[in-house]
Chain A
C-alpha cells in the first residue's frame, strides 16, 4: 500500500523542576488545509495526529475564520486531562493533508482548543479512515493512502 511520510516536529519545552534542562516534545504534527462544507471557506493550520482523541477537534476561533457561527451548531460536552465539560460544536469539514490524503470529517470546534491553536485528528473522522505508522525513533510517521 502506498504511504505518505511526514516528519515529526520537535517542540522545545521550558525547563521545570523535574526536567531542569528542558525537553524536546516529539509530536506528529503536520500542516493541513481545512474547508467548511457549509460555507466553502478554508484556512491552513497545523494538526496533530492524536490516537487518544475520540473525535477530531479544532479551536473555536477557526470556526469564525471559516465563516461558521458555532452557536448555530449542535453542542456536545467534551473533556481531556485537566479539563471537563468543554462545550464543543460539531460540523462537517473537508481536511487536506497531502494530494492523496483528503477526507470529510464531522469535527468539533471548542474554545478549550484555542490555547493550543492546532487541530487534533482523532479516532472518529481520521483514524477510522487511515492506517498510520508512528516511527518516533526516526522522527517520522506514515499514512497509508487509499
Chain B
C-alpha cells in the first residue's frame, strides 16, 4: 500500500512566517491561518472545516536537529 504526497509548499505560499495554518481535510486548500493555533482552529470551523490538517510556517527555514 502506498500513500500519496501533497505539495505543502505550494499550498503555503504567501502565508506569514510563524502562522498556524489549517488545511482542508482533502489537503487541497488553506481554510484558515493566524498567529495562534486556537484562533486558526476556530476560524477553520467557522469556514466549515471541522477537522483540518494543522501545520506551522517556521519563523525561519532552517536545518533541524531535534
- Asked whether A12 lies within 8 Å of B3 as measured between CB atoms, the reply is no
- Asked whether A2 lies within 8 Å of B1 as measured between CB atoms, the reply is yes
Shortest CB distance B45–A (Å): 12
- Asked whether A5 lies within 8 Å of B65 as measured between CB atoms, the reply is no
Shortest CB distance A68–B (Å): 13
Instruction: Tell me if B53 counts as interface (CB < 8 A to partner A).
Output: yes
Q: Which stretch of A88-96, A111-119, A127-135 is in the interface? A: A111-119
The residues of A that contact B59 with a CB separation of less than 8 Å are: 115
- Asked whether B20 lies within 8 Å of A120 as measured between CB atoms, the reply is no
The residues of A that contact B66 with a CB separation of less than 8 Å are: 48, 50, 52-53, 80-81, 116, 120
Most chain B CB within a 10 A radius of its CB, from A4, A44, A116, A120: A44
Tell me the residues in window 4-50 of chain A with beta carbons closer than 8 Å to chain B beta carbons.
4-7, 9, 11-14, 23, 25, 27, 30-31, 42-46, 48, 50
Known contacts A5-B1, A65-B37: A45-B53 contact under CB 8 Å = yes
Instruction: Tell me if B25 counts as interface (CB < 8 A to partner A).
Output: yes
- Asked whether B62 lies within 8 Å of A44 as measured between CB atoms, the reply is no
Interface residues of A (CB under 8 A from B): 2-7, 9, 11-14, 23, 25, 27, 30-31, 42-46, 48, 50, 52-53, 59, 61-62, 64-65, 80-82, 98, 100, 114-118, 120, 140
Return the 7 tightest CB-CB contacts between A and B, nearest first. Answer: A117-B56, A7-B5, A81-B65, A5-B2, A44-B53, A61-B37, A14-B61
Q: A23-B63, A31-B27, A81-B66 are in contact. List 20 more A-B contacts (CB 8 A).
A: A6-B2, A6-B3, A7-B3, A7-B4, A14-B61, A27-B64, A43-B54, A44-B54, A46-B54, A50-B66, A59-B56, A64-B37, A65-B54, A98-B1, A98-B3, A116-B64, A117-B56, A117-B58, A118-B55, A140-B2
